Structure 1
């Protein structure tokens, strides 16, 4: 019983940390996202070369959660799958996916809804349950969330990934990652969660 309770607690904490990453940044006081590749691993943190060429030091704490981002394909998405998608608006009011990530069952409900995102001009992040998969090629998804839904077209060249629990062994030089971090008054960063691309992929979120 104690082991089961501990496992459930760890799952809940992972869900909380990673759902915050999916929820977006509303203001300067919120956690910040860092995308890039690890250049060094130190005794208490990592050094990251960000996508825009900056060198950033990020501390790791005992509470930092680690996830693995694994490349999959559209066939892994079924009706009622809980997903997130960064997307751009189309003229007809639908969305065109820039990426799709599939959440594990333990993270169902993470960041539910739709909000602005930082993948490009006018982009958004929508998290919700797949209501239907339509179109002759099966590449259009209806994503439902509380009080709304979006129709999202997933181009063939868009990455589809699944998010899985990971551990510190994934944190190594060269690994590509997305970090959700808090920023202290002195400017130092501490990771809440680290999502590492498996097999060398860059997490597309």
Structure 2
């Protein structure tokens, strides 16, 4: 396989995987968060945070990716990010994690919508217009099709970007974030983000 083809495959894989952070409400995905129990053949068994254990069908071409930590200072004007956040009583957004998308995935899931990490949780996938140093972190001024908002990113919040991974990384004990669709009484994976090198999916 040529270097050009390999690069193309990597870009496509990252673009597909980035959708794990960018499903709009219309898509109505099932987001599964938990620890891998086993991968047997094409069945991934995951013990969810909610306490139950589910089985997920995984095809040979199901995209699998990992994450790597980057610095808050790496977020610059012009970056395209996805940030989960909570809304305070004052109406202001405070980030609970930030993903910096690779350039190939710019525009993925663009917008602001409800997320499922807890009460008052939201996801904003948007362009960074301005970065301002605040008293409790950095304030990101974000814009997306149809709107804009601002989010404060505290210094201790995970800031990540995508890193390569394969199905071989789906090992017992590793934390995963799986976007899946119902398949009978079980699920079918659309894409998987897996813990690697000590970096667990923060979303």
Both proteins in one fold, TM over 0.5? yes
- What is the TM-score normalised by the length of structure 2? 0.88
Q: Give the structure 1 partner of residue 67 of structure 2.
A: 69
Q: What does 1:1-205 align with in structure 2 at a 5 Å threshold? A: 4=4, 7-8=7-8, 11-12=11-12, 14-16=14-16, 18-19=18-19, 21-26=21-26, 30-136=28-134, 139-184=138-183, 186-205=184-203
> Is the 1:18–1:193 contact (alpha carbons within 8 Å) kept by the matching residues of 2?
no
What is the CA–CA distance in structure 1 between the aligned matches of 2:95 and 2:12, rounded to whole Å?
28
Cα deviation, 1:28-62, whole Å, max 9, x if unaligned, reads: xx331100111112111211111111111111102
- 1:102 CA displacement: 1.1
- 1:172 CA displacement: 1.1
Flag the 1:32–1:75 CA change in 2: closer, same or farther, 3 A: same
What is the CA–CA distance in structure 2 between the aligned matches of 1:34 and 1:102, rounded to whole Å?
21
- What is the TM-score normalised by the length of structure 1? 0.87
- 1:69 CA displacement: 1.4
Pick which of 194-203 and 17-26 moved more: 17-26
What is the CA–CA distance in structure 1 between the aligned matches of 2:145 and 2:9, rounded to whole Å?
26
Alignment gaps of 5+ in structure 1: none
> Is the 1:82–1:103 contact (alpha carbons within 8 Å) kept by the matching residues of 2?
yes
Pick which of 124-133 and 156-165 moved more: 156-165
1:93 match: secondary structure? coil
> Is the 1:87–1:123 contact (alpha carbons within 8 Å) kept by the matching residues of 2?
yes
- 1:2 CA displacement: 7.9
- 1:111 CA displacement: 0.7
What is the CA–CA distance in structure 1 between the aligned matches of 2:42 and 2:202, rounded to whole Å?
26
1:53 match: secondary structure? coil
Flag the 1:162–1:43 CA change in 2: closer, same or farther, 3 A: same
Cα deviation, 1:136-180, whole Å, max 9, x if unaligned, reads: 456111121112111100112211111234222221111111001
Alignment gaps of 5+ in structure 2: none
2:55 match: secondary structure? strand
1:191 match: secondary structure? strand
What is the CA–CA distance in structure 2 between the aligned matches of 1:203 and 1:133, rounded to whole Å?
24
How large is the Cα RMSD of the aligned pairs?
Answer: 2.3
1:79 match: secondary structure? coil
